[in-house]
Structure 1
Amino acid sequence: MLEFLLLVLVWAISALSGLIAAAWLKARSSPKIAAVGFFHPYTNDGGGGERVLWCAVKAVQGERPDLRSVVFTGDHDATSEGLVARARDRFGVELLSPPEVVILLRRKWIEERTYPRFTMIGQSLGSVYLAWEALSTLAPQFYFDTSGYAFTYPVAKLFGCKVMCYTHYPTISTDMISRVCRRSAMYNNDSAIARSIWLSRCKIIYYTVFSWIYGFVGSFSDLAMVNSSWTRSHIEKLWKIPDRIRRVYPPCDTSALQALPLERQKEAPVFISVAQFRPEKAHTVQLEALALALDNLDMSLPRPKLLLVGSCRHDEDKERVRKLKEICSQLGIDRDVKFLIDVTYRELVQLLGTAVAGLHSMVDEHFGISIVEYMAAGAIPIAHNSAGPKMDIVVDEDGQRTGFLAEKTEEYANAILAILQMPETERLAITSAARRRAERFSERKFFEEFLAAVCPILHSR
Structure 2
Amino acid sequence: MALWALLLTTLTSSLLSLLLFSAAAAVISGRRGRRRAVGFFHPYTNDGGGGERVLWCAVKAVQEENPDLDCAVFTGDDASPQNLSARALDRFGVKLLRPLQVVRLYRRKWIEEHTYPHFTMIGQSLGSVYLSWEALRKFTPQFYFDTSGYAFTYPLARIFGCKVICYTHYPTISSDMVSRVLQQSSMYNNDALIAKSMLLSRCKVVYYTLFSWLYGLVGSSAHLAMVNSSWTRSHIESLWKIPRRTKRVYPPCDTSSLQLLPLERPVRSPVIISVAQFRPEKAHGLQLEAFALAVRRLDQDLPRPKLLFVGSCRNKQDEERLQKLKNRSKELNIDDYVEFHRDVMYRDLVQLLGGAVAGLHSMIDEHFGISIVEYMAAGVIPIAHNSAGPKMDIVLNEGGHQTGFLASSKEEYAETILKVLMMPEPERLAIAAAARKRAQRFSEQKFFEDFEAAVQPILAPKASS
State the TM-score bracket (shorter-chain normalisation): over 0.9
Q: Distance in 1 between matches of 2:321 and 2:136?
A: 35
Q: Distance in 1 between matches of 2:191 and 2:284?
A: 18
1:44 aligned onto 2:46: yes
Q: Distance in 1 between matches of 2:447 and 2:223?
A: 20
Q: Distance in 2 between matches of 1:118 and 1:307?
A: 35
* CA deviation string 1:398-417 (max 9, x = no partner): 11110010000000000000
Aligned to 1:8: 10
**2:51 aligned counterpart, secondary structure:** helix
Confirm or deny: 8 A CA contact 1:109 1:130 kept in the other structure: yes
Aligned to 1:403: 404
* 1:460 Cα deviation after fit: 2.4
TM-align CA RMSD: 0.6
* CA deviation string 1:170-205 (max 9, x = no partner): 000000000000010000000000000111111001
Aligned to 1:24: 26
* 1:110 Cα deviation after fit: 0.5
Amino acid in the other structure paired with 2:139: L
Among residues 56, 68, 79, which one is paired with 1:54 in the alignment? 56
* 1:19 Cα deviation after fit: 1.4
1:156 aligned onto 2:150: no
Aligned to 1:286: 287
* 1:3 Cα deviation after fit: 1.8
1:215 aligned onto 2:216: yes
Q: Distance in 1 between matches of 2:243 and 2:317?
A: 38
Q: Distance in 2 between matches of 1:86 and 1:198?
A: 48
* 1:15 Cα deviation after fit: 1.4
**2:256 aligned counterpart, secondary structure:** helix
Aligned to 2:260: 259
* CA deviation string 1:349-385 (max 9, x = no partner): 0000000000000000000000000000011000000
Q: Distance in 1 between matches of 2:457 and 2:8?
A: 41
Q: Distance in 2 between matches of 1:378 and 1:286?
A: 20
* 1:20 Cα deviation after fit: 1.5
Amino acid in the other structure paired with 2:38: V
1:241-256 to 2 correspondences below 5 Å: 241-256=242-257
Q: Distance in 1 between matches of 2:364 and 2:231?
A: 12
**1:254 aligned counterpart, secondary structure:** coil
Aligned to 1:437: 438
Amino acid in the other structure paired with 1:20: S
Aligned to 2:312: 311
* CA deviation string 1:143-185 (max 9, x = no partner): 1000000001001100100110000010000000000000100
Confirm or deny: 8 A CA contact 1:231 1:366 kept in the other structure: yes
* 1:300 Cα deviation after fit: 2.5
* 1:435 Cα deviation after fit: 0.3
After the TM superposition, which of the residue ranges 108-117 and 20-29 deviates more from structure 2?
Answer: 20-29
1:165-184 to 2 correspondences below 5 Å: 165-184=166-185
1:254-403 to 2 correspondences below 5 Å: 254-403=255-404
Q: TM-score, normalised by structure 2?
A: 0.98
Q: Distance in 1 between matches of 2:194 and 2:16?
A: 27
Q: Distance in 1 between matches of 2:6 and 2:457?
A: 46
Among residues 62, 67, 70, which one is paired with 2:69 in the alignment? 67
Q: Distance in 2 between matches of 1:438 and 1:416?
A: 21
Q: Distance in 2 between matches of 1:213 and 1:150?
A: 10
* CA deviation string 1:218-248 (max 9, x = no partner): 0110000000000000000000000000000
Amino acid in the other structure paired with 1:30: R
Q: Distance in 1 between matches of 2:239 and 2:174?
A: 8
Q: Distance in 2 between matches of 1:300 and 1:421?
A: 12
Q: Distance in 1 between matches of 2:273 and 2:59?
A: 30
Confirm or deny: 8 A CA contact 1:301 1:420 kept in the other structure: no
Q: Which runs of 5+ in 2 are unaligned?
A: none
Q: Distance in 2 between matches of 1:70 and 1:166?
A: 16
Identity %: 69
Q: Distance in 1 between matches of 2:225 and 2:278?
A: 28
Aligned to 2:37: 35
Q: Distance in 1 between matches of 2:166 and 2:80?
A: 23
1:88 aligned onto 2:89: yes
* 1:295 Cα deviation after fit: 1.0
**1:355 aligned counterpart, secondary structure:** coil
